[in-house]
Amino acid sequence: MQVTLNWSEIDTVLLDMDGTLLDLAFDRHFWLEHVPETLSRERAITLGEAHQLIEQKYQAVMHTLNWYCLDYWSQELALDIRAMTWEKRHRAAMREDTLPLLQALRAAGKRTILLTNAHPYNLDVKLEQTGLAAHLDLLLSTHTFGYPKEDPRLWQAVQQHTAFDSARTLFIDDSEAILDAATSWGIRWCLGVSNPDSGRPDQSFQRHPAVGDYRQLCETLR
């Protein structure tokens, strides 16, 4: 689906973090490799058994706030997820096209708001590692509001908190389910990310336009 944005009708840009501004490779390694390996070692079970156990737990809370909650997983898995996150912080990295986009948006006078489902501790670690905060106007974790982006109540709460105009707002995220939720609530402009993870093949979107290099958007902002 072709990306067609009318920047004259966009005042606010809401941006996801993991897979959108940051390379999703960090999270893939952490949750799909590091956590299972650690669980396997701690419980003296095979890596396959650890993967199976974790996958069942992941599926049980997918698209809920617990799925993104470090404290929930610490309790469920009996692992110090916060300490493990800090240990792996060096893997957090911005996409190559993130700074060009954020700089272009700021130069064009657009309001930029980070809106992430990431746990506040996870957010703080990644901000400290990447320096991302300096390039955004506002940073929000959905944990503050008590709902994930998949829940329409989150959008209502964020709108009340930030006073964005849904008809003049662009939302960028790497999850089509989350883009669907934003669209259903009333966000006019929604854009997917086709290459959220530098270590994985591109993904396709069925119901939303998607971009693989934000520098293409920068050209249209001038």
Q: What is the pLDDT of residues 34-79, one digit of tens each?
A: 999 999 999 999 999 999 999 999 999 988 999 999 999 999 999 9
Asked if residue 74 lies in contact with residue 4, where contact means CB atoms within 8 angstroms, the answer is no
Query: Residue 44 to residues 36, 85, 162: CA-CA distances in angstroms?
Result: 11, 22, 48
Higher pLDDT, 3 or 73: 73
- E strand or H helix at 157: helix 152-162
* pLDDT single digits (tens) 148-205: 999 999 999 999 999 999 999 999 999 999 999 999 999 999 999 999 999 999 999 9
Q: How far, in Å, CA of 175 to CA of 154, rounded?
A: 16
30 in Cβ contact with 18 (< 8 Å): no
pLDDT tens, position by position, 99-151? 999 999 999 999 999 999 999 999 999 999 999 999 999 999 999 999 999 99
Beta strand 169-173 with 111-116: parallel, antiparallel or unpaired?
unpaired
Question: What is the rounded CA–CA span in Å between residue 203 and residue 192?
Answer: 10
Beta strands per DSSP E along 125-204: 138-141, 169-173, 189-193
- Token pair 């700021």 is found at 106
Q: What is the pLDDT of residue 63?
A: 86
As a whole number, mean pLDDT of residues 15-35 equals: 97
State pLDDT tens for residues 161-173.
Answer: 999 999 999 999 9
Q: pLDDT at residue 2 above 70? A: no
**What number is the average pLDDT over the span 70-95?**
96
